Structure formats: structure tokens, C-alpha cells
A and B are shown apart, each in its own frame.
Chain A
Amino acid sequence: DSGVTQTPKHLITATGQRVTLRCSPRSGDLSVYWYQQSLDQGLQFLIQYYNGEERAKGNILERFSAQQFPDLHSELNLSSLELGDSALYFCASSPHPHQPQHFGDGTRLSIL
């Protein structure tokens, strides 16, 4: 158990819909990262938050947004979903940047 909790584990929805993925980091970790893993692209960095502030952005679509709340949990919002958004979405956390990251079990998103 990494201590990083992601909900839900599975999500099935339709094109055009909007979903929210939730991540609770390990106790004491200030940094949260979101990654997308699709079959054809492998693991890709989406966005990072540190103590409530956005720290780095990767290949995150404009239809996607995220935030980190005062209690340090984070949410990734995906809107106007397309078939290509089907993927595993991982959240990871670390105490500070450049320290070992611990991964949640992921949310498997399927778009029908």
C-alpha cells in the first residue's frame, strides 16, 4: 500500500461527458502529480501541484484541469471527453519535488 488513494478505481462514461478523478496523497506529502497512461503513448506527465500551487505542466489538454485543495487532496477534471481519453490516470505524491514519488493504484477511464 503506497498510501496514495485514488477514486474511483474504474469509470465508464460516454463521449462529451465530464468526470472528476480524486487523489489523496500520502500523509505529509505536499507535492501531487497526475499522469496519463494510454496504450499507444505510455506514461505521460500531465500536471504537478505543490502545496496548493501549480508547479509544472506537461502534455495536458485544455479540456483537462486540476487543482489541489488546502487539505492537499487533488482533483483532475476531464471534460468534453473523447474516445482517445480512455486511459489509466495515475496520481503520485512526494514530500517535496525531487523526492521519491509514490503512486496510487490509478483510475481506469473508459469512454464508450
Chain B
Amino acid sequence: KNEVEQSPQNLTAQEGEFITINCSYSVGISALHWLQQHPGGGIVSLFMLSSGKKKHGRLIATINIQEKHSSLHITASHPRDSAVYICAAYGSGNTGKLIFGQGTTLQVKP
């Protein structure tokens, strides 16, 4: 079992739908990254959070440290949101080493 698990692995949505991607982890962490990887391969950091909730545009990320769970929400989804979304946990040691989930491939259809 992976230390960081994402669900679903694949997600297809219609434009305008509300999307939720879930991330559960079994290790003690100090913070969690949500990343977006475009079809061309580049990786963009969306959020880093250690508690509560963060919002940027149509993206919202939440984390519950006690339940070891984080969610990434996309409101009013758009075809340009199509990408792989990856959650990555910072271990509790003071290194900054990331432990990655397997990624969620999102396709938003017009």
C-alpha cells in the first residue's frame, strides 16, 4: 500500500461541473503539496498547506491533519483544467522530501 493514495485515478467531467480529487496518507506529515502536470509534462505547484483551507481562483484545497486526508476541488471546471493532479506529502523529518501519490488524470469535456 502506498503511503500517499489518491482517488479517483481517472476522472472525466463535463465543462462546468464541480470536481473533487481526494488524497489520503498513512505517514505523519508536516504539509502537503497539490501539483498539476500538463500533458506536455511540466509540473506546476498549486498549493502547499498544513492546515485548513486555501483558495486560488476556481481551485480550493483542504486538509484535515487528524484524519490524514486532503481534497482538491475545482469549481466551474473548464477543458483547460484537463491535466494530471498529484498530491505530495512532506515527511515529518526536516528534509523537504516529497512522497507522491500516483496522480489523478482529469479530462474535462466541452
Contact = CB atoms under 8 A, between A and B. Distances in A.
Interface stretch (B17-25, B57-65, B70-78, B85-93): B85-93
Q: Give the interface size bracket for A toward B.
A: 20 to 34
Contacts of A102: 45
B103 to A, nearest CB: 6
Q: Give the interface size bracket for B toward A.
A: 20 to 34
Interface stretch (A16-24, A66-74, A77-85, A103-111): A103-111
Interface string A91-111: 010101111111101101000
A43 B86 contact: yes
A30 to B, nearest CB: 11
A33 B98 contact: yes
Interface centre among B30, B42, B48, B97 (most CB of A within 10 A): B97
B11 interface: no
A33 B96 contact: yes
A14 interface: no
Contacts of B98: 33, 35, 43, 45, 101
Given A42-B103, A100-B33, A105 B41 contact: yes
A97 B95 contact: yes
Nearest to A108: B41
7 contacts: A2-B44, A31-B96, A33-B97, A42-B102, A48-B96, A56-B96, A99-B96
Interface of A: 2, 31, 33, 35, 42-45, 48, 50, 55-56, 58, 88, 90, 92, 94, 96-103, 105-106, 108
Interface of B: 30-31, 33, 35, 41-45, 48, 86, 88, 90, 93-100, 102-103
Given A43-B103, A98-B94, A101-B33, 11 more contacts: A33-B96, A43-B88, A45-B98, A56-B95, A96-B96, A97-B95, A98-B31, A99-B48, A100-B45, A101-B96, A105-B42
